[in-house]
Amino acid sequence: MSEEGGFGITAAEKFFGIILLIVGVLATHFTLTSSNALGIYTWFFGFLAIVLLTLGIFLIIAKAE
C-alpha cells in the first residue's frame, strides 16, 4: 500500500482513541457517583465504561504500520 494516506489514518486513530478515552472516563465517573440510582446494574455500566476506557487507551498507544 502507498504511504500517502498513512498519516490521516494514524491521526484519525489517535483522535478516536482520545474521544473514547474521554467518554470512558466520564462514563466511569458518572457510573460510580450514581451507584445508588443504578442499583444492581452498577457493575454492568461500570464494565461497559471500563471497556470504553481500555479501547481508547489501546487506540492511543497502538502503533500503525
Q: Residue ranges per domain, the chain? A: 6-61
Q: Mind listing the pLDDT tens digit for each residue in 16-25?
A: 999 999 999 9
Q: Mind listing the pLDDT tens digit for each residue in 24-64?
A: 999 999 999 998 998 999 999 999 999 999 999 999 998 76
- The pTM assigned to this predicted structure is 0.81
Burial 1-25 (b: 16+ CB within 10 A, else e): eeeeeeeeeeeeeeeebeebbeebe
CB 20 within 8 A of CB 59: yes
pLDDT score recorded for residue 3: 56
User: What is the C-alpha separation between 55 and 49, in angstroms, rounded?
Assistant: 10
Residue in the structure block whose three cell numbers are 504500520:
65
